[in-house]
Structure 1
Amino acid sequence: MELLAGFLALIVLLALGFPIFVAIGLSCVVFLQMGVLDPQIFGETMFSGLNEFAFLAIPLFILTGTAIVETGMSQRLLDLSLELFGSLKTGIGTSVSFGSGIFATISGSNAADSAAIGRMALGPLEQVGYDRTYASAMIASGSATGILIPPSISYIIAGIALGVSVSQLFLATFVPGAILLTGVILVNVVINRTRGYETDNREHQGFDASDAAAALWRAKFALFVPFLILGGIYSGVFTATEAAIAAVTVIFVIGALTGTMSLSSYSRVLEESALVNGMIAPIIATALIFGDILTLNQIPQMVAETVTTLSTSYVVMILLMLVVFFVAGATMELGPNILILGPLFLPLAQEFGMDPIHYTIFMMCAFGIGFITPPIGINLYVLSGISGESVMDISREAVPFMLVMLLLVLVIGLVPELSLVFF
């Protein structure tokens, strides 16, 4: 009954529209009052939980993404993508989706990805015949891969919560992230051909190697940053946190040397990044307490035992987790989902022989679909704010992308080799 009271408090507070960190925090207070949680653990977990060196990478990657936009590097990445794919049929849409993936390797945030690409790409997409609502849905869907392609802020949180190496997760997510991004591109190709978009594309001009080389040269600094981050991590030179420090330093130096960042730019970038981080840190702190409550009361073990008594089928277990993760991703923010549901279902996955790395990749891919699914669907809201189109209209256009992503996530769950190809 004590546990039930805490869970009921959380549900009621979320239904009333309380901020997620307030709802989780107050429900933990209910657990505390009911004697489920020791007061000492409450305080220690909230503060010591954030006192992890790896967590320092989160504000630094947020700062990296903000600085990339400020210096104009994100526009050069999109220009390069347009030169590579723009001459193809449906090439503008392909370029925008591919550009989202490239930008994700720097920003580590799907919301930053949506905002940056949305501002840059909506106009060009409309110029070649795209409907504004559909174009918004396509950008939102492509940007949903932002948490799946390394370096990803979300994988840092997941790695710490589940005790999995962040560097290994960054390596393991390459193939699944590429699969989902390719799925978004192919959905757009089909819809594009069906609706006759891009009638004014440059397809008859053909691919120009000199223009592509010029675009590559202009994007050299933007491409160097992910090479620095990922190359440093995979070679063992950097940890994820040290790579984030190096990336921020390099971008600031480049901004100063190229004149793309002024003194006012630095203060503006720091302020914007601090505001974003200020929303993430309280969620992590309160979710860590909630996760401790689940662990101390052996809720994950109870879930594993219950499911295994109902079915011993690996396929059924994957389908069950996919449904839970998909619904959770659509109704709650990513941080609490990772910190609460991740440890909750890990024992179940291991009971069925699922590798922790594979489990984490599968979980994150399923959560990623929530970024284009109401009612939370943060990417939908970002693009709605930029385009002026309603969230529900954009979400309806995003349905084909969502269905294909669901199918691909199911494949990722059923085929462990896709996540473990490098191990």
Structure 2
Amino acid sequence: MDITLIGFILVVAMLLMLTSGIWVALTLTGISIIGLQLIGNDSIGLLLGTSSWSAVTGWSLTALPLFIWMGEILFRTRLSQDLFEGLSPILSRFPGKLLHVNILSCGIFAAVSGSSAATAATIGRMTLPELSRRGYSDTMAIGTLAGSGTLGLLIPPSIILIVYGVSAEVSIARLFLAGVVPGLLLICLFMLFTAVWTILQGRKGQTADTETFTFGQKIQALKKLIPIVLLIGAVLGSIYQGIATPTEAAAFGVAGSFILSAVLGSFSIQGFIDSVAGAVKNSCMLGLILVGAHFLTLAMGFIGIPNELATWISTLGLSPFELILYLTVFFVVLGCFLDGISVIVLTTSVVLPMVTQANIDLLWFGIFLVLVVEMSQITPPVGFNLFVIQALTGKNILYVAKAALPFFFMIAVAIVLITVYPSIVLYLPTMMTS
């Protein structure tokens, strides 16, 4: 059978399965089986068994459930409240004042949760009611939270970077390093937009929040940030200094999270049980998706679709910039219907050969891919951050999407910057490994 016809059948089958509500992992496995059947391969059971084993036994993958568990533990502490109380006095003189607390709190919490939805939900529970009480614009409060919540995907330790690293066989430690500067860049862009918006709004951008703080009060507030800063430093610093692998650092993070939970007075037996249950549930879900993705990659190789696509792309004579432009549109559209991890595991087997053919660095591409997925997280109809914030606020999903739109464009600006200046992504990994 013609390979183009096989590809068309597989795309239709995938869309039918996804729209009918079949799990992503089972969809991946299902279209792999269909593809192998179409080329007459009768070793499906053997291939599924071997690919499943290799998908879940990689040492680098052991960091995934540990980082998820760390986030689950901290999700049940009073960390978000301490972040708000610690950052509020420091940001009281910035244009936009406490709107920046949303951005920085999400940035800090992202460095210990690794999850976009968990970041938006945890910080939003604390900041949105307080910002509303103080008279801040609902649109900007929701927009800053929606945009900044996506930082959980990029700022290490990021769960989605671990998934990409395993799928693309790229060093997870180097990916973590590569995500630092783009993450800080996004925080700066979000804060810059918020400050400019406040200044341009003039009186309309002002609030009844006139609370001022003395220098001593600001120093006292900073003390509340010490525990989380120490935890972030211990986890990420041990990786960057070569003291620990990502898996060992994740284990340190879990232990540190328990200590932090006890120090904050949030530890309880029920909380421990809930954190274990949450970590097991999410880890099993991701593990099953990775099994399906690994089987799909193997099936695609047997069918020959990735090589055929890569050859076709090369005949188009696209420059790397043109390829990146087309892939940006493709991933944003795909992300409108799938969550970020599903986008990555569904496409890496097909897209990576094209990227390699175009001589695009896979390390750089991983960060680019996460940024594009961040854009899709605040794009309807299936932007998960939009659903999280809708649940928190009760606002219409289109209202939340409209509030998040400026931050969608800020992420687009970051993509342009890393495309024009790849060193934004590659500088730290190159410097630390040289």
TM-score (norm 2): 0.91
Aligned to 2:367: 361
In 2, distance between residues paired with 1:359 and 1:135?
Answer: 31
Return the letter of the residue paired with 1:21.
Answer: A
CA, structure 1 residues 343+186, in 2 after alignment: closer, same or farther (shift >3 Å)? farther
Aligned to 1:72: 78
Aligned to 1:294: 300
**3-state DSSP of counterpart to 1:83:** coil
The reply to whether residue 121 of structure 1 matches residue 143 of structure 2 is: no
Return the letter of the residue paired with 1:23.
Answer: T
Pairing partner for 2:65 from 59, 82, 99: 59
In 2, distance between residues paired with 1:191 and 1:66?
Answer: 35
Pairing partner for 1:253 from 259, 271, 274: 259
* CA deviation string 1:186-205 (max 9, x = no partner): 233333344533412347x2
The reply to whether residue 200 of structure 1 matches residue 204 of structure 2 is: no
Contact 1:300 1:343 in 2 (8 A): yes
Q: CA deviation at 1:20?
A: 2.1
In 1, distance between residues paired with 2:47 and 2:156?
Answer: 33
Contact 2:74 2:261 in 1 (8 A): no
Aligned to 1:99: 105
Aligned to 2:249: 243
Pairing partner for 2:151 from 137, 145, 148: 145
The reply to whether residue 47 of structure 1 matches residue 64 of structure 2 is: no
Aligned to 1:4: 8
Aligned to 1:29: 33
**3-state DSSP of counterpart to 2:395:** coil
Contact 2:85 2:224 in 1 (8 A): no
Q: CA deviation at 1:342?
A: 2.8
Pairing partner for 2:415 from 409, 413, 416: 409
In 1, distance between residues paired with 2:403 and 2:351?
Answer: 32
Q: CA deviation at 1:36?
A: 5.2
In 2, distance between residues paired with 1:71 and 1:7?
Answer: 44
* CA deviation string 1:204-246 (max 9, x = no partner): x2x5332222222222221111101111101111111111111
In 2, distance between residues paired with 1:268 and 1:186?
Answer: 38
**3-state DSSP of counterpart to 2:76:** helix
Return the letter of the residue paired with 2:351.
Answer: F
In 2, distance between residues paired with 1:295 and 1:415?
Answer: 33
Q: CA deviation at 1:257?
A: 5.0
In 1, distance between residues paired with 2:252 and 2:85?
Answer: 25
Q: How does 1:160-175 map to 2 (within 5 A)?
A: 160-175=166-181
Stretch moving more, 63-72 or 275-284: 275-284
Return the letter of the residue paired with 2:256.
Answer: V
Pairs aligned (count): 421
Unaligned 5+ runs, structure 1? none
Contact 2:64 2:159 in 1 (8 A): yes
Return the letter of the residue paired with 1:19.
Answer: W
Q: CA deviation at 1:338?
A: 1.6
Contact 2:106 2:119 in 1 (8 A): yes
Return the letter of the residue paired with 2:10.
Answer: G
CA, structure 1 residues 350+415, in 2 after alignment: closer, same or farther (shift >3 Å)? farther
* CA deviation string 1:301-352 (max 9, x = no partner): 3222222222342321221121122222222222232223234222322333
Return the letter of the residue paired with 2:30.
Answer: L
Return the letter of the residue paired with 1:200.
Answer: A
Q: CA deviation at 1:130?
A: 2.9
CA, structure 1 residues 167+7, in 2 after alignment: closer, same or farther (shift >3 Å)? same
In 2, distance between residues paired with 1:299 and 1:86?
Answer: 56
**3-state DSSP of counterpart to 2:427:** coil
The reply to whether residue 330 of structure 1 matches residue 305 of structure 2 is: no
Contact 1:62 1:107 in 2 (8 A): yes
Aligned to 1:15: 19
In 2, distance between residues paired with 1:231 and 1:237?
Answer: 8
The reply to whether residue 156 of structure 1 matches residue 162 of structure 2 is: yes
In 1, distance between residues paired with 2:382 and 2:136?
Answer: 26
Q: CA deviation at 1:75?
A: 2.1
Contact 1:128 1:198 in 2 (8 A): no
In 2, distance between residues paired with 1:208 and 1:407?
Answer: 37
Give me the identity figure in percent.
28
Q: CA deviation at 1:55?
A: 1.7
The reply to whether residue 109 of structure 1 matches residue 112 of structure 2 is: no
Contact 1:81 1:96 in 2 (8 A): no
Q: CA deviation at 1:10?
A: 0.6
* CA deviation string 1:157-195 (max 9, x = no partner): 111111111111111111111222222222333333445
Unaligned 5+ runs, structure 2? none
Q: CA deviation at 1:364?
A: 1.3
CA RMSD of aligned residues (A): 2.1
Return the letter of the residue paired with 2:72.
Answer: T
Contact 2:179 2:425 in 1 (8 A): yes
Contact 1:161 1:342 in 2 (8 A): yes
In 1, distance between residues paired with 2:404 and 2:224?
Answer: 33
Return the letter of the residue paired with 2:147.
Answer: S
Contact 1:287 1:340 in 2 (8 A): yes
Return the letter of the residue paired with 2:302.
Answer: L
Contact 1:73 1:221 in 2 (8 A): no
In 1, distance between residues paired with 2:225 and 2:252?
Answer: 19
The reply to whether residue 341 of structure 1 matches residue 341 of structure 2 is: no
Return the letter of the residue paired with 2:300.
Answer: L
Stretch moving more, 104-113 or 173-182: 173-182
TM-score (norm 1): 0.93
